[in-house]
Structure 1
Amino acid sequence: MLIKTNAIVLSKLKYKDNDLIVKCYTKQKGVVSYIIRGALKTQKGSTKAVYFQPLSQLSFDSNYKENRSLQSISEVKLNYLYQTLHTNILKSAIAMFLSEVLSTILQEEEHNGALYSYLEHSFNYLDHETEFSNFHLLFLLNLTKYLGFYPDTQNMDQSYFNLSNGLFESKKQDFYSISGENLIILKQLLGINFDAIHGVKLNSKQRQSFLNMLLLYFELHLGDFRKPKSLQILNQVFN
């Protein structure tokens, strides 16, 4: 079945000498892996490997066949040309980190137009924005809306937030009940969009602590989720 689709690159892996295996989140089919023949060849006419950087937004034709683990593509082109996402060292660190997170949590071949639109809008915003040090925090928090475990915003005046059940509570229940600075930051971020993130002022220590809390939240609600290897690089560039 020939389909035309938009796609966001989640990961790539060199295969043999000149090929790539690229995992994408597509608008039509959800997560799909593709074999890109000759992507690493330098001669004219080969598919450009630069297209397949983390979070690149592509448009291509695919000869899609059900139950095939690796699909093929043709007529690939950039659907959106980033201006800074892959050239700014801080933004590229965020892109590497988020692409690894998404590659881990998005596994199923399932269409989700709302999630695709969220990813598309978010990365376009990051590309244009000049103040973005807290972008990944709000991105991950709002991503939980599409994964089914966004915090319950009822009773936000309570003194604790329980990571294991996603509820605000009056008493500390267990190890996963948080309070203090991370609770304050969580309440600041809940319910806002990217345009309001400039009002949340954090230093690097606060940012790292809150990110570690968010990743623990993901681990508790997604059984096979593990901290990304690129987390260390992200923390280094934002230190």
Structure 2
Amino acid sequence: MLHKTQGIALSYIRYRESSIIARVYTEAFGLQSYIINGVRSAKSKTNRIALFQPLTLLDMVVYYKEDRDLHRISEVKTPYPFQHIPFEVAKSSIALFVTEMLTKTLKEEASNPALFRFLLTSIVYLEEATEQYENFHLAFLLQLASFLGFGPESAGEFEAQLREHSVPFLADDTMSEAVNTFLSTPIHTPVRLNRAQRADLLDGLVAYYRIHFDNLGEVKSLAVLREVLG
């Protein structure tokens, strides 16, 4: 049966000679996998593979059956072509990191409208921001944790969990205040952190996610993000 849904592209892998299997977080069905044929063929007249680059927003018409792990797409387009995320080093580094974390943590194959709206508005903000978005990934991870069911209520709780699991994390008053701000205000709220504080908080957040996801594994985009933003 055909269904209309919005989606957020996360990743894709090559499949056979000219196809891909794309992972997409959808508004209607949660995390889904789709096979898209012919997008890597030299005969392909359109660059449809670009639609499945990290965080691309999609309007989709899809085939869906509950008992299947792999679905097909009837129609797909982006209503919001990116002008900045793929072409600016800082934004593309953030996008790769956010995408990798989402790929590792989003598992539910069911609709979650509140989570989808959070992801959608966050991505639009990252695309449109012209300044003071260097802390985006920090605020994003803290707020995402709440949607995933393990978000801390305060900086004190965040720091206590890290201590309980013997994570070496030394937060000063500025960092604690920043965490409380990230937890309680919109993702675009400006917060002043220096490069070292940003790097330390990023390491603390990844460690915090590892506490709750035993199989998180290596976060490959982390080194690039540290280099670009700290």
Asked if these proteins are the same fold (TM beyond 0.5), I'd say yes
**Residues 172-187 of structure 1: pairs in structure 2 closer than 5 A:** 175-176=166-167, 178-181=169-172, 182-187=175-180
The separation in 2 between residues aligned to 1:160 and 1:135, in whole angstroms, is 18
Does 2:39 correspond to 1:39? yes
Aligned partner of 2:62 in structure 1 is 62
Cα 1:102–1:173 shift into 2, 3 Å: closer
SS at match of 1:7: strand
Cα 1:6–1:159 shift into 2, 3 Å: closer
Does 2:203 correspond to 1:212? yes
Deviation at 1:178, TM superposition (A): 5.0
Answer yes or no: is the 8 Å Cα contact 1:8–1:56 preserved in 2: yes
Aligned partner of 2:81 in structure 1 is 81
Deviation at 1:118, TM superposition (A): 0.2
Deviation at 1:183, TM superposition (A): 3.2
Answer yes or no: is the 8 Å Cα contact 1:6–1:79 preserved in 2: no
Cα 1:151–1:160 shift into 2, 3 Å: closer
- CA-atom RMSD, angstroms? 2.2
The separation in 2 between residues aligned to 1:184 and 1:64, in whole angstroms, is 45
Query: Alpha-carbon deviations, 1:85-114, whole Å to 9, x = none?
Result: 111121111111111110110112111000
Aligned partner of 2:186 in structure 1 is 193
Aligned partner of 2:27 in structure 1 is 27
Query: TM-score, normalised on structure 1?
Result: 0.87
Aligned partner of 1:161 in structure 2 is 159
Q: Which moved more, 1:113-122 or 1:41-50?
A: 41-50
Answer yes or no: is the 8 Å Cα contact 1:27–1:116 preserved in 2: yes
Cα 1:218–1:173 shift into 2, 3 Å: closer
Answer yes or no: is the 8 Å Cα contact 1:162–1:177 preserved in 2: no
Query: Alpha-carbon deviations, 1:131-188, whole Å to 9, x = none?
Result: 21111000111111101112123xx6x6983125xxxxxxx76625855324343234
SS at match of 1:137: helix
- The one-letter amino acid of 1:17's match is E
Cα 1:220–1:212 shift into 2, 3 Å: same
Query: TM-score, normalised on structure 2?
Result: 0.90
Q: Which moved more, 1:78-87 or 1:23-32?
A: 78-87
Query: Alpha-carbon deviations, 1:59-81, whole Å to 9, x = none?
Result: 11111122222111021110322
Answer yes or no: is the 8 Å Cα contact 1:160–1:178 preserved in 2: no
The separation in 1 between residues aligned to 2:70 and 2:157, in whole angstroms, is 49
Answer yes or no: is the 8 Å Cα contact 2:153–2:183 preserved in 1: no
Aligned partner of 1:236 in structure 2 is 227
Identity of aligned residues (%): 35
- The one-letter amino acid of 1:205's match is A
The separation in 1 between residues aligned to 2:151 and 2:58, in whole angstroms, is 29
The separation in 2 between residues aligned to 1:2 and 1:22, in whole angstroms, is 18
Answer yes or no: is the 8 Å Cα contact 1:159–1:179 preserved in 2: no
Aligned residues: 227
Aligned partner of 1:167 in structure 2 is none
The separation in 2 between residues aligned to 1:74 and 1:57, in whole angstroms, is 16
SS at match of 1:13: strand
